[in-house]
């Protein structure tokens, strides 16, 4: 879905379904929760706004990013000692079709993405 008509259709659906009111309530709720937990309210609201933008403009990427972040949080909060989190996050089937050089690039990108997710996790905890 990349035509202007499709974007307009999605925007109209968001307006009809009360998307914006719900988004505003969600951000306010996140801010209240962050304040009670002692988290940085500004960082939490900015993250909420960024996620909202991704949800609107890059829905598939948004979903993939949320799934990836959830896996990282699961690894970080687990009682198990994880020696190789990057390989736990890697798509092994996808990697089986790559050349050694392509695997190296994939793992490097995955490591950078993992590092960003860990930084985000720690920033949200502050």
Report pLDDT digits (tens) over 1-22: 457 787 788 888 888 888 888 8
Q: What is the pLDDT of residue 2?
A: 55
Q: What is the pLDDT of residue 1?
A: 45
Total domain count, the chain: 1
Instruction: Check if the beta carbon of residue 107 is closer than 8 Å to that of residue 90.
Output: yes
Angle made by CA atoms 12, 15, 18, in degrees to the nearest 5: 145
Torsion of the alpha carbons at 105, 110, 112 and 116, rounded to the nearest 10: 160
Per-residue pLDDT band for 85 (boundaries 50, 70, 90) equals very high
* Domain of 63, in residue numbers: 4-125
Q: What is the pTM of this model?
A: 0.56
Q: Which of 23, 71, 13, 75 is nearest to 51 (CA)?
A: 23
pLDDT tens per residue across span 36-78: 888 888 888 888 888 888 777 776 666 788 889 999 999 999 8
């Amino acid at each position: 879905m990349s035509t202007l008509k499709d974007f307009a259709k999605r925007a109209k659906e968001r307006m009809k379904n009360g998307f914006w009111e719900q988004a505003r309530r969600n951000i306010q709720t996140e801010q209240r929760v962050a304040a009670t937990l002692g988290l940085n309210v500004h960082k939490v609201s900015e993250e909420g706004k960024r996620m909202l933008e991704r949800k609107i403009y890059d829905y598939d990427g948004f979903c993939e990013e949320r799934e990836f972040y959830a896996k990282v949080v699961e690894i970080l909060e687990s009682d198990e000692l994880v020696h190789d989190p990057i390989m736990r996050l890697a798509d092994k089937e996808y990697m089986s079709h790559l050349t050694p050089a392509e695997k190296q690039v994939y793992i490097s990108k995955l490591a950078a993405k993992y590092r960003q997710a860990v930084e985000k996790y720690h920033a949200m905890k502050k």
